Structure 1
Amino acid sequence: MKAVILLSGGLDSTACMAVAKSKNYDLYPISFNYQQRHSIELSSAKKVAKFYGVKKHLIIDTNMNSIGGSALTDKNIDVPDRDPDGTDVPVTYVPARNLIFLSYALGYAEVLGAAYVYIGVNAVDYSGYPDCRPEFIEKFQDLADYATKATAAEHKKIEIVAPLQNLSKKDIVLLGTKLGAPFALTRSCYNGGEKACGHCDSCKLRLRGFAEAGLKDPIEYME
């Protein structure tokens, strides 16, 4: 059985990959060079894909920088130091990113004849992005059921799987560790340095998850 995995190179997507691997699926990771402000996560995605010995790691080139509106695609917008428990949608939100990425992944799954698309979205310890909510995944599943020849004409359902959806960052760290996820290869920092900044939203959530799990984050941070 084949599964397409949205692999960013971060903590959550790598844990998601580990979950799919535990199901004994053939893994087909898909990553995106969307002109993000740094390439460290994409480099990490390549390392994670190599770790799992996948048959093919598809990397899509697209330009979300031309849309702008996010600190992750517009270098004129600073990445803020922010309370990760804030309720506002932060400036690091990339407009419609998961909608676009899932659409690519759905088409890829149809071509491969894959039954599953895995995405590591989370709605517990996350940055408040609207495209990480369970409602979004449910609506995309509804759309997917009508969007392709495989689903509409051939009645082959492609299931959108979000196994981390209701887990805390602590639980994601524990699950990934149990499944042997190579967290030392991952990067989550929005600033994208060789060493993680430790101050951005993503770093704070990651560090808190490891601390609550009673484990040491295996990557390096700036002093």
Structure 2
Amino acid sequence: MRIGELSRRSGVPVPTIKYYVREGLLPAGELTSPNQARYGDGHERRLRLIRALLDVGGLSLSAIADVLRTIDDPGQPVHEVLGAAANRITSAEAAEPGEAGPESAEAREEVAALLARRGWRVSEDNPAARSLAGVLAALHRAGHGGFTELLDVYADAAEPVAHADLDYVRRRVAREDLVESVVVGTVLGEAMFGALRRLAHVEASAGVFGETGGAEEGRAAG
């Protein structure tokens, strides 16, 4: 296909496609004449992935380039490819909140204990682990350190969701499709999980505090 058709099919403007080619994010098309090139389905898939990483994942172009280099390395296991994408997204979503202090040290210890207790094969330096430590430190500073008693309850809920996410990802064939699934699942999946949690709060509130309170909370939340 010509670049104009590639633009129509992908929704990416022609000047942007040319920019991605210049920056090495998108392979150049096959030259058919000095001023014409032909593009294939692989170019369309790569453009879709770039836009997902940019628009949904919130990654910078330099971070996207890092992820794409990992994808294009045939020696990288799929687990490493998915990890590179997820870690970049986690880093882009939010830096570790909070400042250094006793709360931060305590929070890091709590995260380390959680990982050991659950037997999760995750480094304490993982961006998600650092983000969790930041949240726990903020809870301690706000005087709600007792909320950490719910860590395992949250972990119990997160594990089946993670496995369901990966079952969805496993049905993808191309490495680009795998990474795109991780982007969508990490960003939009978390938003979906958060909305479902709020709905569950309304239902639980109705059961604990009475139907009237639950209905009023539901209206307020809406």
TM-score scaled by structure 2? 0.27
TM-score scaled by structure 1? 0.27
More helix by share: 2
More strand by share: 1
Q: Between Structure 1 and Structure 2, whose CA radius of gyration is higher?
A: 2
Structure number with the bigger relative contact order (C-alpha 8 A, sep ≥ 6) is: 1
